[in-house]
Amino acid sequence: MNENSQMEIQLTEETINTFLEEMQARNRKPGSLNSYRQTLNSLASYLPAGQGVNKDTAAEWKAWLEEQGFSRRTVNARISVLNSFLKYAGKREWQETDFYVRPEEILPELTRAEYIRLLKAAKRLGKEREYLLIKVMGNVGVRIHELDGVTVDAVKNGMLQTTYNNRKQYRKIPGSLRKELLAYAKRENIVNGQIFLGRNGSPLVRSTAWYYVSSLSQEAQVDVEKVNPRSLYRMYCSTWAGLEISVRALMEQMYEKILDEEQLTVGWEE
């Protein structure tokens, strides 16, 4: 392992790759390996720039994930992966013990390619409501209990407001999705209030929304265990985590370039 010091383990791409090679040698399935990579990439995005994994990381990350509203299973699944990584790194004393999901039990996450297949399936079947449900969950990160916040006014304003632990949170609705939602509302004669409604015009209940989404799995040829609101939310979070990692890497490269240019100008040795 490549450690900066005895107090931290740097979570680099090389470190993650060597860990995954070890897991592959232990006969972990490709879907599980992909989930491990996404989990460790999410952790790398969570950590402050330049900071590695230390003795407090597991407990602090677990508390942060819970604060973000992730389900207990998702939180414990991610901590389980981190525990496996710490065992591999020879730091079992840094593990978080308050969890119950083993790494081999973690279900593969929905990929962006599978997400696109779900949207295409909804279009082929003419299921516009299901299409839009999948989009607001996958593009905006709307959780199933937050669907009542997707109102005509919220879409017009381009901002979805939710409340978690008595704190207001805001999510921007992409312009292309706003147009689709407003066009759908107009066709359905929904002039105000909640956009996603049941057949009788009442607010869409969670169980029905879950059914609408999962019903597309066969047509899209996606494992039914992946096709649900929770998987869509995890995909949304993983996508943002990947983007944050890419942006951070670009920022580090740009900062290094600035330092190199300054060194040419005022370096001690010319």
pLDDT of 144 higher than 70: yes
Phi-psi region of 57 (alpha: psi -120 to 50; beta: other; left: phi over 0): alpha
pLDDT recorded at residue 3: 40
Asked, for residue 250, whether it belongs to a domain, the answer is: no
- The residue among 53 and 267 whose pLDDT is bigger is 53
Residues 235 and 228 sit within 8 Å (Cβ to Cβ): no
**pLDDT tens for each residue of 22-63:** 888 887 777 778 888 889 988 988 888 888 999 999 999 988
* Closest C-alpha to 239, from 152, 94, 140, 102: 140
pLDDT for residue 170 is more than 80: yes
E strand or H helix at 140: helix 128-140
Query: Domain of 65: which CATH number?
Result: 1.10.150.130
Per the DSSP assignment, residues forming a β-bridge with 5 are 8
> Are 38 and 63 part of one and the same domain?
yes
pLDDT band at 5 (very low <50, low <70, confident <90, very high): very low
Residues 189-247 have pLDDT tens digits of 999 999 999 878 888 888 899 999 999 999 999 988 889 888 898 888 878 877 777 78
pLDDT digits (tens, 9 = 90+) for 56-114: 999 999 888 887 777 777 888 889 899 999 988 888 899 988 765 555 445 567 889 99
- What is the pLDDT, as a whole number, of residue 1? 45
Is 8 inside a domain boundary?
Answer: no
Q: What is the pLDDT of residue 166?
A: 66
Co-location of 104 and 121 in the same domain: no
Domain that holds residue 21: 13-108
Q: Domain check: are 76 and 156 in the same one?
A: no
Report CA-CA distances (Å) from 201 to 16, 190, 204.
Answer: 49, 10, 8
Amino acid letter, 31: G
pLDDT category of residue 183 using cuts at 50, 70 and 90: very high
Tell me the mean pLDDT in the region 138-158: 92
Bridge partner list, 159: 172
Per-residue confidence (pLDDT) for residue 4, from 0 to 100: 41
Q: Which helix (H) or strand (E) holds 23?
A: helix 13-25
How confident is residue 2, by pLDDT bands cut at 50, 70 and 90? very low
- pLDDT tens per residue across span 116-127: 999 999 999 999
Same domain, 116 and 209: yes
Regarding whether 28 and 131 lie in a shared domain, the answer is no
Indicate whether 99 and 122 sit together in one domain: no
The pTM of the full predicted model, rounded to 2 decimals, is 0.60
> 105: how many CB neighbours lie within 10 A of its CB?
12
Count how many domains the chain has: 2
Amino acid at 56: D
pLDDT confidence bin for 6, thresholds 50/70/90 = low
